[in-house]
Structure 1
Amino acid sequence: MTNDDLRPLLLAVDDTPENLALIVELLRADYRLRVATNGVDALRLAAGPVRPDLILLDVMMPGLSGFEVCERLQADPATAGIPVIFLTALSSVEDERHGLQVGAVDYVTKPISPPILEARVKSHLRLKASADYLRDKAVFLESEVSRRTRELSTIQDVTIQVMASLAETRDNETGHHIRRTQHYVRVLAESLVAHPRFSAALTPEAIDLLFKSAPLHDIGKVGIPDHILLKPGRLDASEWEIMKTHAAVGREAIEHAEQALGIRVDFLRYAKEIAYGHHEKWDGTGYPQGLAGDAIPVSARLMALADVYDALISKRVYKNAMPHAVAAGLIVEGRGSHFDPDVVDAFLLRQVEFERIAAAYKDD
């Protein structure tokens, strides 16, 4: 590429060959030039594969007037950013006002004054270069922010999965429980977005955060002794009391992580709600706080059903896996006692999807 190729490209549009010759003679030392003698050709060249950096446009031309050409240039996203300078014999204030209104950046009257034309062209090319730089920089920054956001989200997802897997590997019976419950929660949340009791809480952003944080619901199990967590049978009363502490242990672990970060993180708020509250029951007989009804966070109510359903359909040392129909029946029995009635209704509407999720993430 030669230095000449790097010079700005101008498009001069005038139906008078003498005027075009004069423009070319004045500007060819510093710029590359293309010419058109009518509006149709001007629009074609302006939208071509090599677009001009600036257009010098006559107003009075046969066919399309310069004003009409400028309006069409402005209406096309491909050419709207090309600055237009009118070069015209129309010298009234009203003509100049109209030219600027249709999108021109400047209005120069004929006969052409070489110093004025050269100065105006140079000034508007500098302005365009600055605007292009700022636009390109904005696009780059937006792309960089998007890239960093995706990177951060990926790091969060990986961190969550590692933490959740740590708890899962200590409980050798859970298999793909974490993945299944994560999807169950999303299905329930999406079913309730239009419900007046849930619409404010279950925004699209909130549902994404719920899905992201759901795998941490049993993170507190890392604090339960092996002889209890891995006991091949039912727990006695004292062991059960220790097992129930995993809800508080989980919340405290997430709080410690949040304190280490030094900032509040939205998805960790949901993670704490779920870890601490998913064993609460609608009638107040759950643990650890004995919350009832709407005092239980929405996120915890969704996980409560997801967690119990998955436990029912999964094989354990002390029980066989239940068929979906039996598990669904027990969920219905818990409507209004164990579970929020509306969450149970959402489950019944989407239970086919629960079955699909269970099949897709079936334990080995």
Structure 2
Amino acid sequence: MPETTPFAAPPPSGPTILVVDDTRENLTVIGELLQPFYRVRVANSGLRALRVAQSEPRPDLILLDVMMPEMDGYAVLQALRADPGTRDIPVIFVTAMDGDADEEHGLAMGAVDYVTKPVRPAILLARVRTHLELKEARDWLKDQNGYLEAQVARRTRENELIKDVSLHALAMLTEKRDNETGNHLYRTQAYVAALMRRLERHPRFREALGFRQQQLIAKAAPLHDIGKVGIPDAILLKPGRLTPEEFEVMKTHARIGAEAIEEAIHKVAGEALAELLPQGEESPLAFLEVARQIAGGHHEKWDGSGYPLGLAGDAIPLPARLMALADVFDALTCRRHYKEPFPLETAVDVIRAGRGQHFDPDIVDAFLEILGEFQAIVARYEDDSR
């Protein structure tokens, strides 16, 4: 039996029906019944039916006999459902097995309907039409869902981009006011990212540096000096060294930044997010909590001699400990309006000397292991006036 319809020319378009039966007479009767309305393909065995179902034009519906030699209809249906290319094709069993148990078994296996022989033309045509309409509706919903998911993904990417650009612009304003270039933000963010990649498998940091947390820390890093917006210009822009009194004022930028972010979290977004966010779901502003930790803690020191809170050791949030090293390294190796850049060797010596005093010892070890990456970042984001 050929794998194409033996009947008159099929409709030029519209649904394709695959009729599977090992008896030629049954194929002829059902084929002639369907031919005026649908494109009909036929197969006289289970194996041939599977080949036809995988070839073009693919069937929109399969009428499948149960009792066939070698491979019965149940086995054919099982194979169809196991193949991603055919699993969604609706199958109607058309069989002489008319017992209730037979029908229940066929439907339980995944057939959409069960028609007994001898077929009644009006019933068969009605069942075919109904299930084709249902398939068309399912396909439309699937396309709509795919479209909506793509739209949601696109909108999410747009929102993330807008958020990232807005945050970076805010951080840039702080740097510009401090006579810094935006490359300071890029460098420190890249230093922090490099350290996290090195430390993500370290026993101390494995749980704290999962993929999502690394994203949050990297996103928040550029806001580390946001508190400088609260420092008077006479101090912030002073070309020489600060007096002890002026330095005390400058030190308040860490507290100012942390308090500003905390106020934004709790007073502006807190109540709204509590109402909108499903229980247990991560807040979209989780990165702001990380930013608060970085802004408030990146001048704390491992031995407790830093500011503003005098935190020590692991009491200093990990994002702040990472930024502490990144910020000091960048300050040492870059020209500032009050100093010339130090040679790389000198900067490395300062970082090494701060191990266990200024910096987390394991973070210093990671820095020394990936010093080449830091050098590459320096070269990539070199300042024009460097």
TM-score of the alignment, normalized to the shorter chain, above 0.5? yes
Equivalent-residue separation in structure 2 for 1:238 and 1:301 (angstroms): 26
- Whichever residue aligns with residue 283 of structure 1, its letter is D
Equivalent-residue separation in structure 2 for 1:198 and 1:129 (angstroms): 52
Cα gap change, 1:173 to 1:141, in 2 (>3 Å): closer
CA RMSD of aligned residues (A): 2.3
Deviations 1:112-159 (A, max 9, x none): 233432343234334333433343333233222211211111011101
Q: How does 1:9-24 map to 2 (within 5 A)?
A: 9-24=16-31
Alignment correspondent of 2:5: none
**Pair 1:219-2:239 in alignment:** no
Determine which of 242, 255, 276 is the counterpart of 2:249.
242
Cα gap change, 1:311 to 1:49, in 2 (>3 Å): farther
Alignment correspondent of 1:297: 317
Alignment correspondent of 2:90: 83
Equivalent-residue separation in structure 1 for 2:164 and 2:304 (angstroms): 33
Alignment correspondent of 1:50: 57
Alignment correspondent of 1:39: 46
Residue 284 of structure 1 aligns to a residue whose secondary structure is: coil
**Pair 1:333-2:353 in alignment:** yes
Alignment correspondent of 2:372: 352
Equivalent-residue separation in structure 1 for 2:176 and 2:124 (angstroms): 77
Cα gap change, 1:121 to 1:175, in 2 (>3 Å): closer
Deviations 1:230-254 (A, max 9, x none): 1111111111111111112222333
Cα gap change, 1:304 to 1:313, in 2 (>3 Å): same
Alignment correspondent of 2:77: 70
**Pair 1:192-2:212 in alignment:** no
Deviation at 1:310, TM superposition (A): 0.9
Deviation at 1:95, TM superposition (A): 5.3
Moved more, 254-263 or 238-247: 254-263
Deviation at 1:92, TM superposition (A): 5.5
Equivalent-residue separation in structure 2 for 1:316 and 1:106 (angstroms): 78
- Whichever residue aligns with residue 222 of structure 2, its letter is P
Alignment correspondent of 1:232: 239
Give yes or no for contact 2:179–2:337 (8 Å, CA) kept in 1. no
- Whichever residue aligns with residue 25 of structure 1, its letter is E
Equivalent-residue separation in structure 1 for 2:243 and 2:13 (angstroms): 83
Determine which of 290, 310, 313 is the counterpart of 2:333.
313
Deviation at 1:106, TM superposition (A): 2.9
Aligned length: 361
Deviations 1:172-209 (A, max 9, x none): 24551111000111111222222232222211101001
Cα gap change, 1:93 to 1:324, in 2 (>3 Å): farther
Deviation at 1:63, TM superposition (A): 5.4
Alignment correspondent of 2:163: 156
Determine which of 275, 286, 297 is the counterpart of 1:277.
297
Cα gap change, 1:169 to 1:9, in 2 (>3 Å): same
TM-score by length of 2: 0.86
Moved more, 290-299 or 317-326: 317-326
Alignment correspondent of 2:177: 170
Alignment correspondent of 1:180: 187
Residue 55 of structure 1 aligns to a residue whose secondary structure is: strand
Determine which of 98, 118, 136 is the counterpart of 1:111.
118
Deviation at 1:76, TM superposition (A): 1.2
Residue 85 of structure 1 aligns to a residue whose secondary structure is: strand
Deviation at 1:325, TM superposition (A): 2.5
Equivalent-residue separation in structure 2 for 1:357 and 1:232 (angstroms): 27
Moved more, 59-68 or 196-205: 59-68
**Pair 1:207-2:214 in alignment:** yes
Residue 310 of structure 2 aligns to a residue whose secondary structure is: coil
Deviation at 1:6, TM superposition (A): 6.1
Give yes or no for contact 2:296–2:308 (8 Å, CA) kept in 1. yes
Deviation at 1:61, TM superposition (A): 4.0
Equivalent-residue separation in structure 2 for 1:38 and 1:212 (angstroms): 60
Deviation at 1:108, TM superposition (A): 2.6
Give yes or no for contact 2:228–2:253 (8 Å, CA) kept in 1. yes
Q: Which runs of 5+ in 2 are unaligned?
A: 1-10, 274-282
- Whichever residue aligns with residue 294 of structure 2, its letter is I
Moved more, 100-109 or 140-149: 100-109
Residue 86 of structure 1 aligns to a residue whose secondary structure is: strand
Cα gap change, 1:125 to 1:238, in 2 (>3 Å): same
